Structure 1
Amino acid sequence: MIMTAIGLMSGTSLDGVDVALIKTDGKRVTALGPSGYRPYSEGERGLLRQALAEAAQLTQRDARPGILGEAERAVTIAHAEAVAAFTAQNRIAREEIDIVGFHGQTVLHRPAQKLTVQIGDALALAKAIHIPVMHDFRAADVAAGGQGAPLVPVYHRALAQSLDRDGPIVVVNIGGVSNITYIDGTDSLIACDTGPGNALLDDFVFAVTGQPFDAQGKLAAQGEPDQDWIARSLAHPFFALPPPKSLDRNDFAALRLGQIAPDDGAATLTAFTVAAIAAIAPLLPKPPRSWIVTGGGARNLTMLRMLREGLAPASVETADALGWSADAMEAQAFGFLAARGLKGLPLSYPATTGVPLPMTGGLIARP
């Protein structure tokens, strides 16, 4: 049965809520609908930064002390507003939507401690939008010993089935953290986080310029990367680990550039993200022939240039160039995952998250 799903995603870059409509049977993508975006205000972003800092002390995944409770309410309201605006603008009646996939806002991800925390009140959201909401996608995987991330690979595979090209293909999503999906035919699916995506870069740019990110990579384009700093940082044991592996947004927050010009700092952190992505290639079964870039990094022209240089002779192209949507892909993915979850189909596999067996996931909140 073909379902109509809305996916919602608020990533580790803390920029806002992405919304996308998708039609799927949980295995194939039959149609991609419109997408939308509800940015977080400066106040909301500040609140979420506080929540990230306070979440480091959490030991119970359902605890919401202090600022975390306030941040959860803000996240829930923002997602309800995003759905309301999206359905109104696209003249979609709520009766047309079978399920909403609600990822929530990750504030802590420590799979080694079997702890992953996404804030957002799914029951309150379902009551506000009057549509069933699937949520808590990662918990079952982590409880079973998996990394709980990345979960988007099954969606990447569904999209790649429409491409007429030889593999292996790697889809690299550059959000706050970077992750890859390795696809070679319909059977081989490997995935992992590769290291920092935009998180270190965004935090640095915000600290030195007050801007939330390096728009189009213009600041980095003017600087020179500190190759010695990059080499030292790549000595972190994470980069030598084989897939599957995953990260918390702040796992590399302790890395400090020291005294450095803003443009050189941006260039260094952009190049570090690229070097971390390139470092996964030797750990894959075969050299990738093509890389498809999605997420916020796909809009960073300096990052794209460095990727083409660092991943040659493989081709590097953006998801948008293929008719996919770099901006909406993760939101689409959580609509797809919600449909899979409703049917009890696997969301994660041993080679994507390290879970012992293919795992379904997600809980349903009904209005």
Structure 2
Amino acid sequence: MMLTAIGLMSGTSLDGVDIALIETDGRAVRAFGPSGYRPYAESERAVLRQALAEAAALSDRDARPGVLAEAERVVTSAHAEAVAGFLTQNRIARENVNIVGFHGQTVLHRPADRLTVQIGDGLALARAIHIPVMHDFRAADVAAGGQGAPLVPVYHRALAQALGRDGPVAVVNIGGVSNITYIDGDTLIACDTGPGNALLDDFMFRSVGEPFDCEGRLAAQGVVDEEFVACGLALPFFAAPPPKSLDRNAFAALVLRNMAPADGAATLTAFTAAAIASIGPLLPNPPLSWIITGGGARNLTVLRMLRARLAPAEVETADSLGWSGDAMEAQAFGFLAVRGLKGLPISYPATTGVPIPMTGGVVARPG
């Protein structure tokens, strides 16, 4: 049975809340609905940045000491506002929405310690919007020994299979962290590949006071420090086979030499592209096409660098295929919410390393 789902996603880039509606039975997508975006105010981003720093000391996934309690209220309120505005703007009656998929905001991800923390109060959100909410998608996977990420591959598979292409297809999401889904017939493999936009965004904020490098314009003017890229790629993470996952701050200890902003941007952009390309030899067969989505798909410099590193394979953006790169992760959490409702798997041994295919998520009902 097809259900109407709204998906919500607040990613590691801390830019805002993406929201999208889809109609799905959890296996195929019948229709894409409207999508939207509710940006975080700078004051909200500041609270979330502080929460990320303080969350490093957490050992209890349910604890909300210090600023984390305030950050959870910020996240929940922002998502409630996003849903209310979306329903009003698109004239959607809340009673026509079966489920909302609420990812929350990841502040800590340490699967080796069986610990992952996404702040956001699912029950409070359900009561605010008067719609059932599926939340806490990663916890069951991590508790069972999986990486807890990435979870979007099962949605990528549904999209890629609808293309009807021959040969392996790789879908790369460049968010704060980059991750890949490898699809070849029934074979589904996924993992994080390394840094996405997080290192570059943080560098841009520190060096020029901008939240990101718009279209990769600053990086296009710089010179890449190839030694930095090589040193980064020598870290053990890059030689490890999939599945594997990362925390947003996993590479924060890598320090750029004192260099001009354009050179720093170019270097970090090149590191992202090189990290994505480095997964190729670890896959069963070379992908014939690489489909780029997420915020990084708007960075023309990282696309140029990827085409150079991945040739002769084709590198194209999700938007060029009629998919919505901006809305894809939000759509995915609507899709995952429906799968969770139906008890279908959302993670697999070859995507997160969980021992058996597992469903996930917890339903909060408004009353």
TM over 0.5: yes
Partner of 1:257: 256
Partner of 1:81: 81
Partner of 2:169: 169
Partner of 1:224: 223
Separation in 1, partners of 2:118, 2:215: 29
Query: Could you report, residue by residue, the CA deviation over 1:24-64 in whole angstroms, capped at 9, with x for unpaired residues?
Result: 00101111100000000000001100000000000000000
Q: C-alpha displacement at 1:167, in angstroms?
A: 1.9
Say whether 1:306 aligns with 2:305.
yes
Q: C-alpha displacement at 1:360, in angstroms?
A: 0.3
Counterpart of 1:141 in 2: which secondary structure? Answer: helix
Query: Could you report, residue by residue, the CA deviation over 1:207-233 in whole angstroms, capped at 9, with x for unpaired residues?
Result: 001000000000000001100111011
Query: Could you report, residue by residue, the CA deviation over 1:229-288 in whole angstroms, capped at 9, with x for unpaired residues?
Result: 110111000000000000000010011002011000000000000000000000000011
Partner of 1:203: 202
Separation in 2, partners of 1:349, 1:42: 37
Separation in 1, partners of 2:123, 2:38: 20
Partner of 1:332: 331
Separation in 2, partners of 1:271, 1:76: 35
Q: C-alpha displacement at 1:289, in angstroms?
A: 0.2
Separation in 1, partners of 2:51, 2:301: 31
Partner of 2:285: 286
Separation in 2, partners of 1:164, 1:347: 22
Say whether 1:66 aligns with 2:66.
yes
Partner of 2:270: 271
Counterpart of 2:228 in 1: which secondary structure? Answer: helix
Alignment of 1:176-191 (within 5 A): 176-185=176-185, 187-191=186-190
Partner of 1:153: 153
Counterpart of 2:290 in 1: which secondary structure? Answer: strand
Say whether 1:22 aligns with 2:6.
no
Separation in 1, partners of 2:72, 2:164: 43
Separation in 2, partners of 1:153, 1:133: 21
- Code of the residue aligned with 1:246 in structure 2: it is S
Structure 2 gaps of 5+ residues are none
Say whether 1:33 aligns with 2:33.
yes
Separation in 2, partners of 1:7, 1:172: 20
Q: C-alpha displacement at 1:138, in angstroms?
A: 0.2
Separation in 1, partners of 2:4, 2:77: 23
Q: C-alpha displacement at 1:166, in angstroms?
A: 1.3
Partner of 1:246: 245
- Code of the residue aligned with 2:225 in structure 1: it is D
Q: C-alpha displacement at 1:161, in angstroms?
A: 1.3
Separation in 2, partners of 1:307, 1:33: 31
- Code of the residue aligned with 1:224 in structure 2: it is V
- Code of the residue aligned with 1:273 in structure 2: it is T
Q: How many percent of aligned residue pairs carry the same amino acid?
A: 80
TM (norm. structure 1) is 0.99
Counterpart of 1:258 in 2: which secondary structure? Answer: coil
Partner of 2:134: 134
Separation in 1, partners of 2:289, 2:331: 22
Separation in 2, partners of 1:262, 1:143: 41
Separation in 2, partners of 1:347, 1:147: 13
Separation in 2, partners of 1:351, 1:264: 37
Separation in 1, partners of 2:161, 2:284: 20
Counterpart of 1:58 in 2: which secondary structure? Answer: coil
Say whether 1:103 aligns with 2:103.
yes
Query: Could you report, residue by residue, the CA deviation over 1:151-172 in whole angstroms, capped at 9, with x for unpaired residues?
Result: 0000000001110321200000
TM (norm. structure 2) is 0.99
Q: C-alpha displacement at 1:14, in angstroms?
A: 0.2
Say whether 1:43 aligns with 2:43.
yes
Q: C-alpha displacement at 1:330, in angstroms?
A: 0.2
Structure 1 gaps of 5+ residues are none
Counterpart of 1:351 in 2: which secondary structure? Answer: coil
- Code of the residue aligned with 1:294 in structure 2: it is T
Counterpart of 2:316 in 1: which secondary structure? Answer: strand
Separation in 2, partners of 1:280, 1:95: 44
- Code of the residue aligned with 2:362 in structure 1: it is L
Partner of 2:363: 364
Separation in 2, partners of 1:164, 1:133: 33
How many positions carry a matched residue from both structures?
A: 366
Partner of 2:345: 346
Counterpart of 1:191 in 2: which secondary structure? Answer: strand
Over the aligned positions, Cα root-mean-square deviation in angstroms equals 0.4
Separation in 2, partners of 1:118, 1:182: 26
Separation in 1, partners of 2:135, 2:51: 20
Query: Could you report, residue by residue, the CA deviation over 1:177-234 in whole angstroms, capped at 9, with x for unpaired residues?
Result: 000000001x100000000100000000110010000000000000011001110111
Separation in 1, partners of 2:170, 2:60: 35
